[in-house]
Structure 1
Amino acid sequence: MKWVLILGGLVLLIIIWLVIDFRLGRKKHLSVADSKETPILHGEFEIFTHGKELFHDYFSTIRGAKRHIHVLFYIVKDDAISQEFFALLKEKAREGIEVRLLLDRLGSWKIKKQVVAALREAGIQFAFSNRIKLPFPFYSAQVRNHRKISIIDGEIGYLGGYNIGKEYIDGDPLLSPWRDYHVRITGESVNFLQSIFLIDWNEYAGEELMGRPVYFPKLPKGVVRHRFIATEAGQLEENFIRLIRNAEHSILIGTPYFIPSAAIFTELLAVRRRGVSVTVIVPFTADHLLVQEASFRYLRRLLAAGAAVYQYKKGFYHAKTIVIDDKVCDIGTANFDRRSLFLNKEINCYIYDPALIERVKAVIEKDILDSEPLSLAELNKPNIGRSMKEGIAAAVSNFL
């Protein structure tokens, strides 16, 4: 009994420490967090939905770089495509091209010291972002740099859901084919992507480069009206709420993880009550423990309110998009979950061009055809194992 009490006391102390760590860490983060957004900009967009096509284009663009390559990823693994990526960056650095690579420390945990040393030896300037650090190690371990952006010569930008690893090019049999949305951007707005990279680079590499004109060439305008919003530490929630409130006819959400905040979910139910159609696409197969079970309590209530929910079955669905009334389309790095809403650094692109929105909708309609509708009856079937998982998921949903 004595040892049970001691063990129980230790567990209680750990829980208290975790709570204090998280709350104080979040308070400090909120005091320094700063969202950044643009006015309406004009550019040209190309959409990629398959990894092999994206990386063929992406690697080709890197090979053609003449001045500088700036890359920020959440995940880069130590597998064949990752090694091909590193080899390409080394080749460019040895040519005398400036290469800067910023990777999230936990997202890219497979990148070992030897790999980093080899990159630096080749002339690549490398840094990890969002390391676990004192005095709030638990909170800092939760805050990830989830932005996935690349800027080539200050003229071409990439943004979206793809990271670098074999699963993203259909190399993981459990998650293939991988379905995602990523965009290639040219035009004046590439300057903003460049500024976000340099801000993050300064924070984590300690090198201020924002004032250098070489990174910000004068760029032409394109035809696609859009704007960017870069967020962290809770700044994304209000943007999503504003999108949902403005809906008049339809809302379409595509996400691998549907774990909304209470405020966002309240707004979704409210617009559904006033007759706005709500459609949600999620994966049939989960890639992380409990994320699917965490979504069920929300999907159950949406279905009861008359929303449509589809589970994508032709591989794994990792796309992040919101389409409102065919008037605005959000494509970016943020999932529709609490981690993206309240913890991660994210960047989203809001598109207002009818022709491009129609192209995105055609992609989404194809994804719906490759999905099966989820029914309320199916979710309400007695299932003790699923119910237990849902209870656990609800308790830890902020960290999934």
Structure 2
Amino acid sequence: MNEHSVNIFSHFLFSFWENYNNERSGGMSWLIVAIILLFLLLLDYKWGDKVSKTTSRKKSGVERQSDITLFTAGEELFEDYFAQLERAKHHIHILFYIVRDDKMGQRFFSLLEQKVNEGVEVRLLVDWVGSFGLPPSVRQKSGQFAFANRPTLPFFFYKLNERNHRKITVIDGKIGYLGGFNIGKEYIGQDPKFGHWRDYHLKIMGEGVHDLQRQFQEDWKKATGQSFGDDERYFPSLQKGTVKHRFLPTDGAYLEDEFIQLIEQAKREILIGTPYFIPSQKLMNALLKAMKRGVQLTIIAPMQADHPLVKEAAYPYFRQLLRAGARIYQFYNGFYHAKVIVIDDDICDIGTANFDHRSLFINYEMNCYIYDKPFIQYVKQTIAHDIDTSTLLTAEYFRKLPWLDRLKEGVATLMSPLL
């Protein structure tokens, strides 16, 4: 919050307080309290954000070569995932944003408890907000358990929004997983509200697993104050794989610049898949400039929403991009949760970051840039399959929007920095 904004808020607070004293009106007291509260929340958020940005450091990552497998269905991913957990001999390190206490979660915790009883080191780190409500009786089954990003003073409201959105698993230092899936019945298509859950998740085997382990180690130490060794048990010698890639961790900063650099490299096409399309103005400008130089922009987003207002928050951007010539699709075969960007045939980004303000400026994320052309072609084929089960948005769609949807769009636009 800049000095001018503080002066404006101070003026309004003084005016309301003067009015209250002059009229001796008890009916104004609730409004004064609400305004003061709003002012304090905004001050907390802006100040906390400023402090956070000054302490954030850019992590560029290094190029690695690993064998990488793409999963797009939860049933297939977790069949493989649980099988690998069962084979663990020394340690299991897991970070998820969401872990549910449902049948899926119970299977997950039972397996972790089994491995603990076998003498395997298990460390489970889950986001405090994303996994809020996990009962202690469930958490204690996982060996060593911790919450990531517990909100604390000062800047409680800002820290309440600053979430660890990474989803990392490392097994015996040799096998890693990263992507959009969490632990819960919806992720295997068992929630009737969403039906089929479409997501992108990577399995990594090769030297890149060391980078996932390092990031987990950093997050674990931040949450617990404890670390684990740097020896060969946790960082074994690993062979190079066939797929060149680079991991990009971000802590609420620098991701906007990274995405803009990707967009500026495009010569022919940009493909974006995201559940939430709420870009910054700089990102929008980069997309519009790309289209002006002849780049075809294609976006896939879900037809249904999993959170209030996020669908409507995308509408102002979609209108502008449609006028500029973008192709925008709404996925209707269940819920679309993939986070993917493809630039020509040269770069593919798959990870945990959405194309929205939270991932750009608040959340802790982990993305994987892939430079292998055969793998990128496979991802493009997968996206083409997603487009086959999507409907093309048109300007006519927005002209016919009901008044209630237009009202939601207005509210969503105001709230977009926190959606």
TM-score > 0.5 by shorter chain: yes
CA separation in 2, counterparts of 1:373 and 1:174? 23
Query: Following TM superposition, by how much is the alpha carbon of 1:270 offset from its aligned partner in structure 2, in angstroms?
Result: 0.8
1:276 equivalent in alignment to 2:290? no
Partner of 2:256: 237
Alignment equivalent of 2:141, drawn from 114, 119, 124: 119
Q: Describe the shift of the 1:382–1:150 C-alpha distance in structure 2 as closer, same or farther (beyond 3 A).
A: closer
CA contact (8 A) 2:350 2:369 kept: yes
Partner of 1:300: 319
CA separation in 2, counterparts of 1:290 and 1:334? 19
1:355 equivalent in alignment to 2:377? no
CA-based RMSD: 1.1
Counterparts of 1:178-217 in structure 2 under 5 Å?
A: 178-209=197-228, 211-217=230-236
* SS of alignment partner, residue 175 of structure 1: coil
Partner of 1:45: 68
Partner of 1:67: 90
Partner of 2:404: 385
* SS of alignment partner, residue 85 of structure 2: helix
So what's the TM-score if we normalise by structure 2?
Answer: 0.93
Counterparts of 1:218-297 in structure 2 under 5 Å?
A: 218-297=237-316
Alignment equivalent of 1:104, drawn from 116, 120, 127: 127
Partner of 2:18: none
CA separation in 1, counterparts of 2:123 and 2:291? 46
* SS of alignment partner, residue 268 of structure 1: helix
Listed as ranges, the gaps of 5+ residues in structure 1 are none
CA contact (8 A) 1:232 1:341 kept: no
Query: Following TM superposition, by how much is the alpha carbon of 1:63 offset from its aligned partner in structure 2, in angstroms?
Result: 0.2
Q: Which structure is larger by alpha-carbon Rg, 1 or 2?
A: 2
Q: Which amino acid aligns with 2:355?
A: F
* SS of alignment partner, residue 319 of structure 2: helix
Q: Which amino acid aligns with 1:106?
A: V
Alignment equivalent of 1:83, drawn from 106, 110, 130: 106
CA contact (8 A) 1:156 1:190 kept: yes
* SS of alignment partner, residue 393 of structure 1: helix
CA separation in 2, counterparts of 1:156 and 1:99? 15
Partner of 1:162: 181
Query: Following TM superposition, by how much is the alpha carbon of 1:301 offset from its aligned partner in structure 2, in angstroms?
Result: 0.4
1:146 equivalent in alignment to 2:169? no
1:35 equivalent in alignment to 2:58? yes
Q: Which amino acid aligns with 1:17?
A: L
What is the number of residues matched between the two proteins?
A: 396
CA separation in 2, counterparts of 1:165 and 1:32? 34
Deviations 1:227-283 (A, max 9, x none): 010001222100000000111110000000000011001110111111110000000
Q: Which amino acid aligns with 2:39?
A: I
Query: Following TM superposition, by how much is the alpha carbon of 1:382 offset from its aligned partner in structure 2, in angstroms?
Result: 4.9
CA separation in 1, counterparts of 2:64 and 2:210? 11
Q: Which amino acid aligns with 1:119?
A: K
CA separation in 2, counterparts of 1:73 and 1:299? 31
Between 130-139 and 236-245, report the one with greater CA deviation: 130-139
Q: Percent identical across equivalent pairs?
A: 49
Q: Describe the shift of the 1:308–1:215 C-alpha distance in structure 2 as closer, same or farther (beyond 3 A).
A: same
Partner of 2:4: none
- 4+ residue segments displaced more than 6 Å: none
Q: Which amino acid aligns with 2:94?
A: V
Q: Describe the shift of the 1:206–1:384 C-alpha distance in structure 2 as closer, same or farther (beyond 3 A).
A: same
Deviations 1:346-370 (A, max 9, x none): 0000000011011111110000000
* SS of alignment partner, residue 70 of structure 1: strand
Q: Which amino acid aligns with 1:97?
A: V
CA contact (8 A) 1:199 1:210 kept: no
Query: Following TM superposition, by how much is the alpha carbon of 1:210 offset from its aligned partner in structure 2, in angstroms?
Result: 5.3
Query: Following TM superposition, by how much is the alpha carbon of 1:23 offset from its aligned partner in structure 2, in angstroms?
Result: 1.0
Alignment equivalent of 2:339, drawn from 317, 320, 325: 320
Query: Following TM superposition, by how much is the alpha carbon of 1:326 offset from its aligned partner in structure 2, in angstroms?
Result: 1.5
Query: Following TM superposition, by how much is the alpha carbon of 1:136 offset from its aligned partner in structure 2, in angstroms?
Result: 1.1
CA separation in 2, counterparts of 1:212 and 1:10? 56
Alignment equivalent of 2:150, drawn from 131, 138, 148: 131
Query: Following TM superposition, by how much is the alpha carbon of 1:189 offset from its aligned partner in structure 2, in angstroms?
Result: 0.6
Q: Which amino acid aligns with 1:94?
A: N
Query: Following TM superposition, by how much is the alpha carbon of 1:397 offset from its aligned partner in structure 2, in angstroms?
Result: 0.6
So what's the TM-score if we normalise by structure 1?
Answer: 0.97
Between 3-12 and 371-380, report the one with greater CA deviation: 3-12
CA separation in 2, counterparts of 1:208 and 1:28? 25
CA contact (8 A) 2:56 2:253 kept: no
Q: Which amino acid aligns with 1:74?
A: Y
Partner of 2:15: none
Q: Which amino acid aligns with 1:361?
A: K
CA separation in 1, counterparts of 2:137 and 2:208? 36
1:54 equivalent in alignment to 2:73? no
Deviations 1:328-352 (A, max 9, x none): 0000000000000000000000000
* SS of alignment partner, residue 314 of structure 1: coil
Counterparts of 1:12-31 in structure 2 under 5 Å?
A: 12-31=35-54
Partner of 2:9: none
CA separation in 1, counterparts of 2:66 and 2:84? 18
1:8 equivalent in alignment to 2:31? yes
